[in-house]
Amino acid sequence: MPGMSEGLNRLLDAVYPPRCVVCQRVGAVVCADCLSRMHPPDAPTCAHCGATIPDTDYPAPRLCPNCSAGRNLTHLDGVRVATDYAGAARTALLALKFAGQRRVAEPLATLMVAPFECDIRSVDLVIPVPLHPSHQRERGYNQAELLARALARTEGLRVRTDILERTRATEAQTRLSREDRRRNVAGAFALTSPGAAAAVMGNRILLGDDVTTTGSTLDAAAEPLRAAGAASVWGLAFARPSRGDSDADNAS
């Protein structure tokens, strides 16, 4: 019951005012100042994977070398990210992911609308990238789901968590190359049931995740959706490490 927990949250906020998980200032779980310090990746970005590309004379649509070679994110229509995984964004995401600060998802999700401003309302279903059940049991929640639900609430979209499952616990991606990441997660996702396939058919799907580095996890999650006849599958992550900082795209 969202109404009840909102009321409870307001009461708790009155008694114990929240502190910003980034700067510790009293007032909001992530303050406006810290949110304003979370920046989208530098332009220009690749029209397909959303990665920053060198500012040279790329013909439009601009594609990064990996995407123009046609071997990147073959199941996805494309990927967009809200912010660089650095500074305030990184601190806030770590609080969401590892310190049980679930309410951080709401302010962070507000930043996820902008990369999709043209067409987010044409999305039929939002599906968070599922954790492996053993990882979800450990943490008690899926941070990607919290972000997806917060985003969907503000945009009036539908979220489904009963369509896609992670059938294989995958190795942490941290030290893997692009190609090894792809291999590591390939075939790690499946539809839950024949009914799930019917729900996917013909629909425009937005896959939500907290962090993506190469997009390989999002792409692997898109594979069974594409096979079931999804009209489109886009990936949207809150953050992406800039090149060289790849400590974020782990298995969970």
Which residues of the shown chain bind Zn ion in the complex (CB under 5 A)?
A: 20, 22-23, 31, 34, 46, 48-49, 64, 67
Nearer to Zn ion, 79 or 191 (CB): 79
Least Å distance, CB 64 to Zn ion, is 3
Inter-residue contact 66 to 243 (CB < 8 Å): no
Nearer to Zn ion, 37 or 168 (CB): 37
Nearer to Zn ion, 87 or 135 (CB): 87
Nearer to Zn ion, 11 or 23 (CB): 23
Q: Which amino acid is at 197?
A: A
Least Å distance, CB 33 to Zn ion, is 5
C-alpha pair distances (Å), 42 with each of 17, 39, 93, 245? 35, 8, 20, 15
Least Å distance, CB 140 to Zn ion, is 25
Please give the backbone phi and psi of residue 221, each rounded to the nearest 5 degrees, phi first.
-70, -30
Measured distance CA(142)–CA(132) in Å, rounded: 10
Nearer to Zn ion, 31 or 185 (CB): 31
Nearer to Zn ion, 74 or 122 (CB): 74
Least Å distance, CB 18 to Zn ion, is 11
Least Å distance, CB 92 to Zn ion, is 9
Least Å distance, CB 104 to Zn ion, is 11
